[in-house]
A = this chain, B = another copy of it.
Amino acid sequence: MIERIYEARHRLLPYIRHTPCVRHTPYRTPLAPNLSLKLENLQLSGSFKIRGAFNNLLQASPEQRERGVLVASGGNHGLAIAHAAHRLGLPATVILPQTAAPDRIARIRSWNATVILHGDNPSDTLLYAQNEAQERGCLYVHPFASEATLAGQGTVGLELLEDVPEIDCAVIAIGGGGLIAGTAVALRSKNPDIRIIGVEPAGAASMYQSLIAGGLTELRESRTIADTLSPRAVSELSLEVARDHIDEIVLVSDEQIVDAMEILWSEWNQLVEPAGAASIAAITSGLIDLSPYRAPVALICGGNAPVGPVFTAFRDKAAHNTDFPPIHHKLHR
């Protein structure tokens, strides 16, 4: 797997951002003193998902490139695929459940992907997408169950080893488990003692339940505001890697997640989606104590929150100030 991650890194280099890892610490919040934040909300498409997306699309066959890619997604995976497909000139179709947030639909459409709303639960949508992809002969990219996806997400780990060479603990949110699996493999390839702490929403604890049960377990219900962390089951592959590499799992409540979103805003001016604040929630809630670590890192996995009303408010105000014309004036030379 680690070879696949190095290959992915080489493959992705011209296409993605090496995201900032901000090390300085605020003085007053209940965070670890040396904590760094890896800001994957600043990644293209607003989340780490673009890594796996590019890694899949860049390996597509010429026929697949022509027929295009088709995925099911309630969120960041669909957006990442739409973005990467636009960049590479592939047609993209994203199937979303009928309940998908209008904000996400608009973002996906803005990258020229075709959006189809189908089904009212993730399993129906997924099944429909897999069938459609087969019928149309499109490339189908699963959000977390394939090795190419895991290897793509694992490139975050390689960046972290450069950003914080002395890293000794990583706090990472778990949705389908692709991010934590890939990142853990990359980090541990350098130093097997790096502590890996996974964080799930308490209402969507798919990895926790599978690890406890000793096998892939599907939740009967998944209910959390962190919608991009809410698949009802992880994958065999991510579970297998998790078994070897995850040392601790923390389940955070939705309220703790919103608290952490506010802290990320008030201390770092980063507005992120609930999933993006989950790793911070594990710390600020007091559930885990990072003081034993010399260089812990929390991964901010995504930022795609619906903030339209903020702009609407400013646009209303701006409408009162239209009597000043724009000007460009050269003073020197």
Contacts and interface: CB of A to CB of B under 8 A. Distances in A.
Contact of A321 (B46, B224, B249, B322): B224
A256 B315 CA distance: 10
Contacts of A249: 327-329, 331
A208 interface: yes
Contact of A26 (B44, B251, B328): B44
A7 interface: no
Given A87-B27, A225-B321, A324-B202, A46 B329 contact: no
A233 B224 CA distance: 50
Given A41-B269, A303-B269, A258 B314 contact: yes
Interface stretch (A14-22, A132-140, A142-150, A151-159): A14-22
A304 interface: yes
A262 interface: yes
Copies per complex? 2
Contacts of A265: 307, 311
Nearest to A253: B326
A14 to B, nearest CB: 10
A94 interface: no
Contacts of A248: 328-332
A253 B324 contact: yes
Given A28-B86, A42-B269, A326-B253, A310 B314 contact: no
A304 to B, nearest CB: 7
Interface in A136-193: none
